[in-house]
């Protein structure tokens, strides 16, 4: 009987062990866990693709057009100290009702020629702070830039200061002088007109000045920005850069857009 009892006892133990390892005794183990994968790592390629498609891709930022390159400009400043600034503010008050020498947000670019053979002669005309020869007012006349026949560009006055170069428009106009005696000669000089157009393009694009507001001195009276509080100055202009020549200048300038 002792061998039969031992066999029965062994069978009972084995049955108990089998019950502990069955479905009722332990939670089932997933394939991914069995394989050593973290939870969620068992997604199929199709599931990943579907998730990616449902997430909108970030759009690239809009491209910004590069700024118009500044042409090579040589600094050649005329004296413009505190006395000249005071005189310019007083002139602006008389003619425009504004007690300031500051040029802010210019709306017009005026083209001129110097009626001199050299840049030095033009510089010597503008540099002394003496009453001008035409109206005998202070401060003396000046321009912001001077374009030489070889294409060199000189800056005579900072862009933040007003210059007396065009009656009725000095409150809002940048003045560009060209060394020479006629519009036609300047238009025919490839180096000079090329430099002039590059300078004017840079200025008008910088200040958002329309091509129609790039004018010759002779066109000043037709500008919508022209005004003067002194009656004697309301119809005063000069002959440099007439309308026909400025139409040609503006057509060349239109080939150099801001963008």
Task: Report, as an integer, the average pLDDT of 155-177.
Answer: 98
Residue 37 has pLDDT above 60, yes or no: no
Phi, psi angles (nearest 5°) of residue 246: -70, -30
Can you give the three-state secondary structure of the chain, one letter per residue?
CHHHHHHHHHHHHHHHHHHHCCCCCCCCCCHHHHCCCCCCCCCCHHHHHHHHHHCCCCCCCCCCCCCCCCCCCEECCCCCCHHHHHHHHHHHHHHHCCCCCECCCCCEEEEEECCCCCHHHHHHHHCCCCCCCCCCCCCCCCCCEEECCCCCEEECCCCCECCCCCCCCCCCEEEEEECCCCHHHHHHCHHHHHHHHHHHHHHHHHCCCCHHHEEEHHHHHHCCCCCCCCHHHCCCCCCCCCHHHHHHHHHHHCCCCCC
Length of the chain as a residue count: 259
pLDDT at 23 over 50: no
pLDDT digits (tens, 9 = 90+) for 103-118: 999 999 999 999 999 9
Q: Helix 243-253 vs helix 190-206: angle between axes, to the nearest 10 degrees?
A: 70
pLDDT digits (tens, 9 = 90+) for 202-214: 999 999 999 999 9
Tell me what pLDDT residue 65 has: 61
- Beta-carbon count within 10 A of 256 CB: 15
Distance separating alpha carbons of residues 140 and 130, to the nearest angstrom: 5
pLDDT tens digits for 47-65? 544 454 454 455 555 556 6
Q: Is the pLDDT of residue 120 over 70?
A: yes
> With bands split at pLDDT 50, 70 and 90, how would you rate the model's confidence at 67?
confident
pTM of the model: 0.75
- pLDDT score at 98: 98
Report d(CA 249, CA 253) in Å as an integer: 6
pLDDT at 241 over 60: yes
Average pLDDT estimate for 106-133: 97
CB 90 within 8 Å of CB 230: no
Q: What is the predicted pLDDT for the residue at 103?
A: 98
Residue 103 contacts residue 159 (beta carbons within 8 Å): yes
Closest CA to 229 of 57, 109, 96, 53: 96
Q: What is the pLDDT of residue 140?
A: 97
Cβ atoms of residues 145 and 212 within 8 Å: no
Whole-angstrom distance between the N-terminal and C-terminal Cα of the chain?
109
Q: Across residues 239-253, what is the average pLDDT?
A: 97
User: Closest by alpha carbon to 177, among 217, 209, 140?
Assistant: 217
pLDDT at 58: 57
Average pLDDT, the chain: 84
Report the pLDDT averaged over residues 90-95.
98
More confident residue, 56 or 191: 191
Give the pLDDT score at 63. Answer: 55
- Find the mean pLDDT for residues 175-201: 98
Q: What is the Cα–Cα distance from 55 to 249, expressed in whole angstroms?
A: 54
């Amino acid at each position: 009987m002792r061998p039969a009892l031992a066999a029965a006892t062994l069978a009972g133990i084995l049955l108990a062990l089998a019950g502990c390892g069955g479905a009722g005794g332990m939670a089932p183990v997933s394939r991914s866990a069995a394989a050593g994968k973290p939870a969620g790592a068992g997604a199929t390629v199709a599931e990943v693709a579907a998730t990616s498609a449902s997430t909108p891709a970030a759009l690239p930022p809009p491209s910004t057009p590069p700024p118009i390159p500044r042409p090579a400009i040589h600094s050649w400043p005329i004296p413009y100290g505190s006395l000249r600034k005071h005189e310019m503010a007083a002139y602006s008050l008389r003619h425009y009702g504004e007690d300031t020498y500051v040029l802010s947000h210019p709306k017009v670019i005026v083209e001129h020629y110097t009626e001199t053979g050299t840049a030095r002669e033009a510089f010597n005309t503008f540099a002394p702070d003496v009453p001008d020869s035409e109206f005998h007012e202070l401060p003396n006349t000046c321009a912001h830039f001077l374009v030489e026949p070889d294409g060199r560009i000189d800056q005579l006055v900072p862009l933040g200061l007003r210059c007396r170069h065009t009656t009725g428009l000095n409150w809002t106009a940048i003045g560009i002088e060209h060394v020479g005696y006629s519009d036609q000669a300047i238009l025919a000089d490839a180096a000079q007109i090329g430099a002039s157009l590059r300078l004017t393009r840079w200025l008008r694009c910088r200040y958002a000045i329309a091509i129609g507001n790039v004018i010759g001195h002779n066109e000043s009276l037709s500008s919508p920005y022209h005004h003067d509080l002194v009656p004697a100055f309301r119809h005063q202009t000069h002959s440099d850069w007439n309308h026909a020549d400025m139409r040609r200048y503006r057509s060349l300038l239109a080939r150099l857009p801001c963008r």
